[in-house]
Amino acid sequence: MIGTEEKKAGHSSPAGLDGQETGRVRRSMWSGQGGRKGAMNTRIVALFAREEDLLGAARTARRSGLKTVDAYTPYPVHGLEDAMGLRRSRLTWVCFALGLAGAGFMCWFQFWTSAIDWPVNIGGKPWNSLPAFVPVIFEGMVLTAGVGTTVVFLLISRLLPGLSPSLSIPEVTNDRFALLLEEAGGNFTVEALSKLFSQQHPVEIINAETFLPAASKSPDGKTGLGRYQGRINLVLFVLLLMVSGLTWALRSDRKQPNWEFLPDMMASVPSNAYAKNKVFADGKTLQAPVPGSIARGDMPLHFKATKEDAVRAGLELNSPLAPDNAKALERGSVVFMNFCTACHGGDGKGMGPVPKRGFPPPPSLLNGNSLSMKDGQLFHILTFGQGNMPGHARQISPEDRWNVILYVRSLQAEAATPSGEKK
Amino acid sequence: MMSGYVPGLARRNTIRFFYILAGIGVVLPILGLLVTPRQVVPNLLLMGFLIVSMGLSALFFLACHAAAGASWHVSLQRVAEAMADTLKAAAAVMALALVLGLFFLYPWVHPAHAGEGTHVEGATFWFKNLWLSPGFFVGRAVVFLLAWIYFARLMLNHSRAQERDGALSHTHATKKLSVLFLVVFAVTYCLASTDWIMSLTPHWFSTIFGIYTFSGMYCGGLAVLILVAAGLHKNGLLRGVVTTEHFHGLGKLLFGFSIFWMYIWFSQYMLIWYTNIPEETAYFVPRLSNNWAPLLIFNLVLNFGVPFLALLPRGAKRDVSFLVKIACVVLLGRWLDLYLMIMPSIRPEGPNFGLCEIGSLIGSIGLFGLFLQHSLKKSTIIPFNSPFLEESIHHHQ
């Protein structure tokens, strides 16, 4: 019977032992289903009692030119891959590539998040700080390579969820070592193999075809629930996904955090600002700044709101801005528009909307005193006020004060230019 | 038949070569000591610490495997034992370096710097003051060195006794002894590296320093083990006992521990870099400036870059002649790593490579080679009566 099938099949299988091939054949051996449909070569299983016999048989088979499909052992047998003549697994390259990909991704991701998309100043370190990225790059590499290689290994070994492996020869999990051989040819028989392996004392040599179809009827001889183990696992897995999905989706209040797992640093115990505090000598929580401390970016002015100090400011303070700073000039015009035009008017001549309604008009900014005043004195006036003009220290930042002075200077320069030269 | 393995472990030329190297290593420092003790004593300290670490790492190798009940290392057992046996002689070099160091090296000894690093803004650290007092320092050093020598002695005695009577009880005793040694070793080696190297800068401290020196120590020890095993194998003494599988195992350990060394190096560097407070950055400031910086980078290349990239493929770890080359690179890196731990603390202004450096590099190799040569002769090179020998010979990855 085998002979006739053989003729129909021809030599269908390639000589190589690639993973797919092994996987398919293995599945057909374990579960008795699948495998190459219809025609196939003769497959014979030799069972041994000792690991040395299996190794010897694998070497003998290889020497005789027989094709070893796979070996099944209760535990990993050292040197079996050499005896069977298996080539090195390519899984190491998968691991290498995944490791590189994980490290590369983490490198790019941290650069993008901390230097481009959302730069946060941490301890004054540069945004793109390689030393800070290294731990995450390292862990990302290990995680990607480790988990990825495991998943790839499961995939190429066809160990997928829901699959129910069943043993045709359960002894190989206990005390038997099986060698599955495959060959096309009329004289590849149980008897011939018995002769070949006589040195290795095989316990049993079985033609795989004789028991595989039978095995397919009752996959593993299990009764009751055991038969549905694979499907039960699959259902449980889907249930797990559903439960965790629903738990997430049906949170009562999406704005509240979920149940706090190890909340040790989430709920700190801060003191209220005006509560008593044992830590400080004066017993208060809110501490006054150290005398003489300065707020960040706030340079104190050592001037009083007097005319003399305004003149002194003109001598001592200089604008930090270059006269041709276009950006400052543009900003200055905006500030002028917002804070000055109400009284000084858009052109600086002093007839803004407020004086038009009867308020005493300020002197023109374009001639007279304003021209001879130095930048520093103007800054003093802007800060502390003069005459009817209140101080603008609270409204206009020091930088903007200099910007608006620059703008006023440009207005003055424009007014001084004879009208014929204007464009 | 087997007794033929005992004498003549290395060729006469090799022995002469080690004598010449050791001679250079001894003569150059003595000459230098008269001229520039500030340059010589750090190099002597380096030499002592380097060869003591080699012996210790062999002892650690044996203890680790014995404690874990491993068998694959048994083919290499006698090589590692001979390395551990050099501890006595190496300890003498170390002791000399420490005594001279007390006169020329450690800043906390001198009256001008007395109590340096022991008080900050009026607060006195009485414990640190006590810890860094010459008497206690010498006492600790004696205890550490004697403890290591004693453990090496006990381990070797068991091994040699088993060679005579073949009793299994020695294997069990070694296992118990190894567990005890590992505990003692962890504490003493941390304290020793703190005492002998970190106290060169008494203000500065790093809690990871002990494991940092340990990670380097084991890298160096594995490199020496590979070199010695490869040499003996080439001479035919270990043929058939130490196989490609054993070199593969050693190569994997070297590969793994060079990554571990880099991991620990970076752990120390990153925390100091991140926190950026003067007491801690004081260690890296000289090492990242004044021409020390290129050496710092070169150190990373030798100790991590080369072994990591070169030993990544499987074939590289199974090619003994290639593995030997990498082991040489790692050994050079070991010297440089210790040089960078010690010398910038003495000479922050920049490296000054001279005869002393050549002396300490060549001298370490020569002295260790001589000690090892002497130790190798004391016993059979293959532990014939070890219950694990057969298993080790058939070791398979």
pLDDT in tens, A343-361: 999 888 888 999 999 889 8
Cα–Cα dist B307/B215, whole Å: 14
Cα–Cα dist A27/A163, whole Å: 10
CB contact, 8 Å: A90 with chain B?
Answer: no
A131 and B396 in contact by Cβ < 8 A? Answer: no
CB contact, 8 Å: A92 with chain B?
Answer: yes
Question: What does the H/E/C string look like for B348-377?
Answer: CCCCCCCHHHHHHHHHHHHHHHHHHHHHHC
Mean pLDDT of chain B: 88
pLDDT of residue A223: 54
Question: Who wins on pLDDT, B35 or B259?
Answer: B259
B274 and A123 in contact by Cβ < 8 A? Answer: yes
B274 and A125 in contact by Cβ < 8 A? Answer: yes
Q: Is the pLDDT of residue B137 over 70?
A: yes
Q: Is the pLDDT of residue B62 over 60?
A: yes
Q: Is the pLDDT of residue A254 over 80?
A: no
Instruction: Give percent above pLDDT 70 in chain A.
Output: 81
Residue labelled with tokens 């800043």: B107
B266 and A79 in contact by Cβ < 8 A? Answer: no
Distances (CA, A) of A81 to A68, A84, A89, A92, A181: 11, 5, 10, 16, 15
pLDDT in tens, A316-325: 988 888 888 8
Burial class from Cβ neighbours inside 10 Å (0-12, 13-18, 19+) for residue A417 reads exposed
Q: Is the pLDDT of residue A20 over 50?
A: no
* A79 contact residues in B (CB cutoff 8 A): 396
pLDDT of residue B359: 82
* A132 contact residues in B (CB cutoff 8 A): 270, 274
Mean pLDDT computed over B164-191: 94
What confidence category does residue A164 fall into, taking pLDDT thresholds of 50, 70 and 90?
low
Q: Is the pLDDT of residue A28 over 70?
A: no
Mean pLDDT of chain A: 80
Which of A92, A124, A131 lies at the smallest CB-CB distance from B270?
Answer: A131
Q: Is the pLDDT of residue A23 over 80?
A: no
Residue labelled with tokens 């700190």: A268
What confidence category does residue A167 fall into, taking pLDDT thresholds of 50, 70 and 90?
low
Q: Is the pLDDT of residue A35 over 60?
A: no
* B397 contact residues in A (CB cutoff 8 A): 78
* A123 contact residues in B (CB cutoff 8 A): 274, 276
A131 and B276 in contact by Cβ < 8 A? Answer: no
User: What's the gap in Å between the CA of B394 and the closest CA on chain A?
Assistant: 10
DSSP label at residue B158: H
pLDDT of residue A193: 82
A135 and B270 in contact by Cβ < 8 A? Answer: yes
pLDDT in tens, B213-271: 999 999 999 999 999 999 999 888 888 899 999 999 999 999 999 999 999 999 999 99
Instruction: Give percent above pLDDT 90 in chain B.
Output: 59
What confidence category does residue B4 fall into, taking pLDDT thresholds of 50, 70 and 90?
very low
Q: Is the pLDDT of residue B67 over 50?
A: yes
What confidence category does residue A16 fall into, taking pLDDT thresholds of 50, 70 and 90?
very low
Mean pLDDT computed over A2-13: 36
| Highest averaged pLDDT of the listed ranges A87-96, A100-109, A258-267, B342-351 | A100-109
DSSP tally for chain A: helices H, then strands E: 16, 6
Q: Which residue of A has its CA nearest to B270?
A: A131
Mean pLDDT computed over B117-145: 80
pLDDT of residue B307: 96
Q: How far does chain B reach from its first CA to its final CA, in angstroms?
A: 30
pLDDT of residue B117: 55
pLDDT of residue A218: 44
* B270 contact residues in A (CB cutoff 8 A): 131-132, 134-135
User: What's the gap in Å between the CA of A90 and the closest CA on chain B?
Assistant: 12
Question: Who wins on pLDDT, A300 or B139?
Answer: B139
* A135 contact residues in B (CB cutoff 8 A): 270
Sign for the CA dihedral angle at A314, A316, A317, A323 comes to positive
Complex ipTM: 0.83
CB contact, 8 Å: B270 with chain A?
Answer: yes
The radius of gyration of chain A from alpha carbons, rounded to an integer in Å, stands at 44
CB contact, 8 Å: B271 with chain A?
Answer: no
Cα–Cα dist A41/A183, whole Å: 6
pLDDT of residue A324: 87
CB contact, 8 Å: A76 with chain B?
Answer: no
Cα–Cα dist B35/B196, whole Å: 23
pLDDT in tens, B224-235: 999 999 999 988
User: What's the gap in Å between the CA of A78 and the closest CA on chain B?
Assistant: 6
Which B-chain residues 4-43 have CB contacts (< 8 A) with chain A?
none
B314 and A125 in contact by Cβ < 8 A? Answer: no
Q: Is the pLDDT of residue A228 over 50?
A: yes
pLDDT of residue A210: 59
pLDDT of residue B240: 87
pLDDT in tens, B72-112: 999 999 999 999 999 999 999 999 999 988 888 888 887 55
pLDDT of residue A420: 55
The radius of gyration of chain B from alpha carbons, rounded to an integer in Å, stands at 21
Mean pLDDT computed over A404-408: 94
Which A-chain residues 95-124 have CB contacts (< 8 A) with chain B?
96, 123-124
Q: Is the pLDDT of residue A396 over 50?
A: yes
pLDDT in tens, B267-314: 999 999 998 898 899 999 999 987 899 999 999 999 999 999 999 999
* B269 contact residues in A (CB cutoff 8 A): 131
- In the numeric block, which tokens belong to residue B280? 């801690």
Cα–Cα dist B341/B149, whole Å: 25
Q: Is the pLDDT of residue B186 over 70?
A: yes
How many CB atoms lie under 10 A from the CB of residue B34? 8
Q: Which amino acid is at A120?
A: V
In 3-state terms chain B splits into helix, strand, coil percentages (rounded to 5) of 80, 0, 20
What confidence category does residue A186 fall into, taking pLDDT thresholds of 50, 70 and 90?
low
pLDDT of residue B16: 77
Residue labelled with tokens 């300890």: B91
Range of lowest pLDDT (A185-199, A289-303, A327-341, B345-359): A185-199
B396 and A79 in contact by Cβ < 8 A? Answer: yes
Q: Is the pLDDT of residue A402 over 60?
A: yes
8 Å CB contact between A67 and A15: yes
Q: Is the pLDDT of residue A34 over 70?
A: no
8 Å CB contact between B255 and B322: no
* B297 contact residues in A (CB cutoff 8 A): none
Q: What strands lie across the sheet with A42-48, from one edge to the other?
A: A67-72, A177-183, A42-48, A204-207
A123 and B396 in contact by Cβ < 8 A? Answer: no
pLDDT of residue A380: 93
DSSP tally for chain B: helices H, then strands E: 17, 2
Angle at A197 between CA A193 and CA A201, to 5 degrees: 125
8 Å CB contact between B232 and B9: yes
A131 and B273 in contact by Cβ < 8 A? Answer: yes
Residue labelled with tokens 């022991």: B118
